Structure 1
Amino acid sequence: MLSNEIILLIAFFIAVGILLYNPSKYYGIPAALIFIGVGLFLGNDSASSFAFHNPTQTDLISQLALVVIIFVGGLHTNIKDIKRVFAEGLLLSNIGVFVTTFSLGFFVSLVTPLSIIEGLLLGAIVSSTDAAAVFGVLESKNMKMKYNSDKVLEFESATNDPMALILTLIFVSIIKSAGVEVVYLDYLTFFVQQVFVGCGLSFFLYLIIKYILEKIHFVEEGLIPIFLLCALIVFLKVNDFLGGNALIGAYILGVMLNTVDYHYKDNTLHFFNSISWLAQSIMFLLLGLQINPVELLEIIPLAILPALFLFLIARPLGVFTSYLPMRQPFKKQIFISWSGLKGATPIVFALIPLLEDLQNAELIFYIVSFIVFLSLLIHPFSMEWVAKKTKVLL
């Protein structure tokens, strides 16, 4: 359990992060960079009585926060926008993640002490883009683009976490069972179970909630968001019991609920916006507190090549491969290749090897953390420039 001291620390740092983020939003600085930075540089001092290092609690809270954030993102997603970019987004969030994972994984095994399977694990962890960071940059810069490029980025970033998480869990399982014959059919079954249970359960719950919202008139506007929040918690517990993927299920549930008209809908969305910000703030802060600044600096010589390979080769390779079945302007593909912002999600996924006590788990964690920080420092400030150079900006 979190101590009173830690709760006070988190509340104080969230307040500091809000005060720093409010003016910085104008410059397109992602919330992840602000809040993780606050936790990293103000709270994570081994000599401080406020130091907090608890990967187990951080992983539990962060996984829950991710589900809430993605659910709220779905609530704000217009299904008409999804239909226009569905094929592109689906290919990027699956084929793109797969190609990025394997290309980066093999490269990492060549330039670091990590084995091929450990490199693939690292590749899977950093293969997805961050929805909160992408939404934040596009909104703060008010970037409207040709060829639905902005909608593609938003849909991809909201849907590629499940594939990255599934690959991460598969590679963790393979490493843990080293020396035992690998039954790849079991991993294929696991993938299918994750996707179909998550999607099926979310659709079933949507039908129930839709019926209730249409048939029952809630006399108090504050009851509806509480009801939906409780429904989301029920979804998480049942989904966990059945072995589905909570991330993809939460997003689909949010998107489908956005199609339902009910009383006090605007107020409900405002409520979930606040919940999403609280979830982001706590998650970013706790993740920052898990990172030791000294170790992060020491990892730079080892992590710089994997980071550059990801940004300049692995991510573009994943994007170009995804677009092979489709005819889209090359300049659009270049822009999307560059705009693969990383955020808190890879750091959350990097906690999984730590919790499983895998060999080299800490090395993977700090390489991932460096890649995330470098992405947050480079991509948000260069996206608009790249959009102008590729002429996809309206």
Structure 2
Amino acid sequence: MDLYFVLVGCVILICILLNRFLDKLAIPSLLFFILLGMLLGENGILGVVFNDYQIAEMICSTSLIFIMFFGGFGTNLKVAKPVIIKSIVLSTLGVLLTALLVAGFVYYVLDLSWLQSLLIGSVISSTDATSVFNILRSRHLSLKYGTDSLLEIESGSNDPVSYMLTISVIMIMTGQNISLPVMIFQQIIFGLLCGCCIGKIIVKILNEVHVNESYENTVIIFASSIITYAFSNLIGGNGYLSVYICGIILGNSYIPHKKDMVHFYETLTKMAQVLIFFLLGLLVTPSELPEVIIPAILIMIFLTFVARPLSISVLLGMFRSPLRQTAVVSWAGLRGVASIVFAIYAVLYQVDLPFDLFNLVFCIVLFSLSIQGSLLPWISKKCHMINPQVDILRTFNDYQEDNDMCFVKMKIGPNHHFKNLKLKDINADDLLVILIARDHQTLIPNGDTEILEGDLLVLAAKKFENRENIRLDETHIHSSHKWKDKLVKDISLPAKQLIIMIQRNHQSIIPNGTTPILENDILVTIETQDEI
């Protein structure tokens, strides 16, 4: 057990340390952790034997709760409104049609029974939202016609449908006495009601119960996602559907400290995805894969080039969607975490199949991520679907909070170039003086307001967003530092580096060229990595 903890800890460290590098790879970064798990696993360099499907299912199912919740929490319904109907059609009828087409292919080509074929079709019928949007976000790809929002909602909401199909087929194959219509009704209705009710209750609690620290609200959200999933399952609903709906309600409602929650869940889900993919790589035995390679390749080819495109063409054709949008949506049907988790369910129920379903689905997911995932940006570009004028982050609920106005203060000294000017005479685009503090009074200015010496101006400006290509560093000025007792203008810095702040005696100083640098100062410098 200690060895497993060491491996998981090392994988998380690798994820953090290599984050920027992995996002720039041509292949989806999550694929790296599958390969890492295989490299360290039973046939790898460390020979770690991990074959406990029960533990794997528990960890993966728990991680999937938070992934599904954040999928809903991050969905911006205002932006996605024009494509909601399309998305729901694809996530329901699209999943069903894909499952049936794949089942028919497996039945006739691989010569399996109809139920065995339907099980395989059901397990791989859903798409993986995390993989798609990991690619779109890391490549800053915003797609035309609201296609990014369409993919987000479709991928986020089709896992519950695939889950219901999988469980229904498993129940029939294992001879359990159930009423299929009743079970599906309970799964959908109870799942929707549970997600809506708990979501509304949590919103009310967060807005009426004032907490001392922002992290307490985050803990409440964390607990609510667990409660929603578990309670829905207890009453016969679909836990994943409930969690997704609860996330949508919370994410699209006003709740205090939402930005902190977004950052927490973004980190949590990323770690959950990494853990799942590493664990699945560790769980698989590479020496057993050759016996399912041929069926996996055949199913992958049919799924990618026939089943998914055909179902998408039929359903989007009803909405008269552009052909290039249909092409990109068809290609963006990546398989991922949910498909493998559902395959583990089938293994645990000891469903009779001529080959290992986990290994089969593992290979399909591996091919999907490596081929479809790697080529998605290229396909989008070739179809002229990339919209460079729009930010992909607009489809996420954290976008509005992360792009709020930024407020800064400015003290008018005796030599300030704003002194004795009227606001209308100041040429400063995208900068607005919203408040002036003068002689213990607060003034709401207009264009004729004159700026006087001693005024404290509060200004509003758009917050800078492209932080990925900048780096902040701190430099401590010790007694023998070469910059000690020099003026800022006398320091030679690289062309892309600038001193933006000096911390001195618990105060922050915005420097200019004549600002002296003293012993024990802490200089904050900014450096650009690439073009901004």
Question: TM-score by structure 1 length?
Answer: 0.93
| Counterpart residue number, 2:202 | 209
Once the two structures are TM-superposed, the CA of residue 113 in structure 1 deviates from its matched residue by: 4.7
Match of 1:67 among 56, 60, 65: 65
Equivalent AA in structure 2 for residue 369 of structure 1: F
Are the aligned partners of 1:59 and 1:351 in contact in 2 as well (CA < 8 Å)?
yes
| Counterpart residue number, 2:30 | 32
Match of 1:346 among 317, 339, 348: 339
| Counterpart residue number, 1:83 | 81
What is the SS of the residue equivalent to 2:318? coil
| Counterpart residue number, 1:119 | 117
Of the two structures, which has the highest relative contact order with CA contacts closer than 8 Å and spacing of 6 or more? Answer: 1
Moved more, 323-332 or 86-95: 323-332
Change over 3 Å in CA distance of 1:334–1:218 after alignment to 2: same
Unpaired segments ≥5 residues, structure 1: none
Match of 1:23 among 16, 21, 25: 21
**Would you tell me which structure has more helix in proportion to its own residues?**
1
What is the SS of the residue equivalent to 1:160? helix
Q: Deviations over 1:267-310 (max 9, x none)?
A: 12211222212221222222111111111233212321111000
Which ranges of 4 or more aligned residues in structure 1 deviate by more than 6 Å? none
What is the SS of the residue equivalent to 1:50? coil
Q: Deviations over 1:76-118 (max 9, x none)?
A: 1111123221111001111111111011111112222532211
| Counterpart residue number, 1:219 | 212
Equivalent AA in structure 2 for residue 385 of structure 1: W
Tell me how far apart the structure 1 counterparts of residues 328 and 90 of structure 2 sit (CA, whole Å).
13
1:296 matches 2:289: yes
Name which one, 1 or 2, has greater alpha-carbon Rg: 2
Equivalent AA in structure 2 for residue 12 of structure 1: C
Change over 3 Å in CA distance of 1:380–1:49 after alignment to 2: closer
Tell me how far apart the structure 2 counterparts of residues 218 and 390 of structure 1 sit (CA, whole Å).
50
Equivalent AA in structure 2 for residue 144 of structure 1: S
Change over 3 Å in CA distance of 1:213–1:392 after alignment to 2: same
Tell me how far apart the structure 1 counterparts of residues 286 and 30 of structure 2 sit (CA, whole Å).
16
Equivalent AA in structure 2 for residue 294 of structure 1: S
What is the SS of the residue equivalent to 2:254? coil
Tell me how far apart the structure 2 counterparts of residues 367 and 144 of structure 1 sit (CA, whole Å).
33
Q: Deviations over 1:14-47 (max 9, x none)?
A: 3234444531211353243122221122233389
Are the aligned partners of 1:9 and 1:50 in contact in 2 as well (CA < 8 Å)?
no
Are the aligned partners of 2:332 and 2:376 in contact in 1 as well (CA < 8 Å)?
yes
Equivalent AA in structure 2 for residue 258 of structure 1: G
Tell me how far apart the structure 1 counterparts of residues 342 and 228 of structure 2 sit (CA, whole Å).
21
Once the two structures are TM-superposed, the CA of residue 174 in structure 1 deviates from its matched residue by: 1.6
**CA RMSD of the aligned region, Å?**
1.9
1:10 matches 2:8: yes
Are the aligned partners of 1:52 and 1:289 in contact in 2 as well (CA < 8 Å)?
yes
Once the two structures are TM-superposed, the CA of residue 66 in structure 1 deviates from its matched residue by: 0.8
1:330 matches 2:323: yes
1:367 matches 2:360: yes
Are the aligned partners of 1:104 and 1:310 in contact in 2 as well (CA < 8 Å)?
yes
Change over 3 Å in CA distance of 1:373–1:49 after alignment to 2: closer
The number of aligned residues is: 387
Match of 2:132 among 111, 131, 134: 134
Change over 3 Å in CA distance of 1:22–1:297 after alignment to 2: farther
Tell me how far apart the structure 2 counterparts of residues 95 and 322 of structure 1 sit (CA, whole Å).
8
1:191 matches 2:189: no
Match of 2:106 among 105, 108, 113: 108
Tell me how far apart the structure 1 counterparts of residues 41 and 120 of structure 2 sit (CA, whole Å).
27
Are the aligned partners of 2:33 and 2:278 in contact in 1 as well (CA < 8 Å)?
yes
Change over 3 Å in CA distance of 1:138–1:46 after alignment to 2: closer
Moved more, 213-222 or 40-49: 40-49
**Would you tell me which structure has more strand in proportion to its own residues?**
2
